[in-house]
Amino acid sequence: MRLCVPIPCFFKNTAFPDAIRKVGELGFDAAETYNWKNLDLDAVRAACEESGVELLSMCTTEFRMTDPQYRTLWLEGLKESCAAAKRVGAHKLITQVGPDTGAPREEQHASIVAALREAKPILEDSGVTIMIEPLNTYVNHPGYYLWSAVEAFEIIREAENPWARVVYDIYHQQIMEGNIIPNITGNLDLIAHLHSAGHPGRNELQYGENDYKVIFAAVDKAGYKGACGLEYRPLMDPIESLKTAKQLYGKTE
């Protein structure tokens, strides 16, 4: 499993291409980001090619999938984001599904499924995988609809879209459902990316209640071939934090 560096978490005051180069200098070969609209995509791609760092994923510009009246807007944002991903060389996009609208959950669930079905031609044409993200509603995202990874897996199965998958965030799911290792290893065919942070606090992995060495070893043993983003707020100096993460978790076998 590859460790992936979310640029905004560690390089807030560094030009993005320079941050990519620094990631490579630290010995990582994967990075991700969120908002792509403020990036010089050509300069980012050049930095990736120069440094050997793959930009794995970015985010879509629209997140409201729970309400059918916003579906066209979400699909238009997806099309725009797929074009940007293709330009920069990324092959995955993360989308949140939006707030709980107050409508019956089965209706919101069905709306997300329908959006993913309608997205298939856009994703197929661009070669980009869309990843829905379950988030915790207790600490960071009150009012968000999709808090359950189990429901996220159900949505992906129902959508029957090979370009739609889940980003499984271990931090969020430790708060909401637990059962981390079985939920990951039993659904590897539906997971395209992992995120991680220590809980409580959303800081370095070694400061939380999860033993990430055990988790990563189990995920590797199950055959996961993707990456895990270090999506936390460092308490240490950011560079030292990344060096420590690589030392502790860079090899899990």
Spatial CA neighbour of 99 closest among 145, 133, 135: 145
- pLDDT the model gives residue 253: 45
Cβ atoms of 210 and 174 closer than 8 Å: yes
Mean pLDDT over 122-136 rounds to 98
Cβ atoms of 111 and 71 closer than 8 Å: yes
Amino acid in the structure at residue 22: K
Is the per-residue pLDDT at 12 higher than 90?
yes
Confidence category of residue 167, pLDDT binned at 50, 70, 90: very high
Parse the chain into domains and list their residue ranges. Answer: 1-51+183-253, 60-148
Q: At 191, give phi and psi (nearest 5°).
A: -105, 125
Is the per-residue pLDDT at 24 higher than 60?
yes
pLDDT digits (tens, 9 = 90+) for 199-215: 999 999 999 999 999 99
Is the per-residue pLDDT at 216 higher than 60?
yes
Instruction: Give the sign of the dihedral formed by CA 141, CA 226, CA 111, CA 148.
Output: negative
Mean pLDDT over 225-239 rounds to 98
Q: Looking at the DSSP assignment, which residues form a beta bridge with residue 230?
A: 196
Supply the mean pLDDT for the chain: 97
pLDDT digits (tens, 9 = 90+) for 105-114: 999 999 999 9
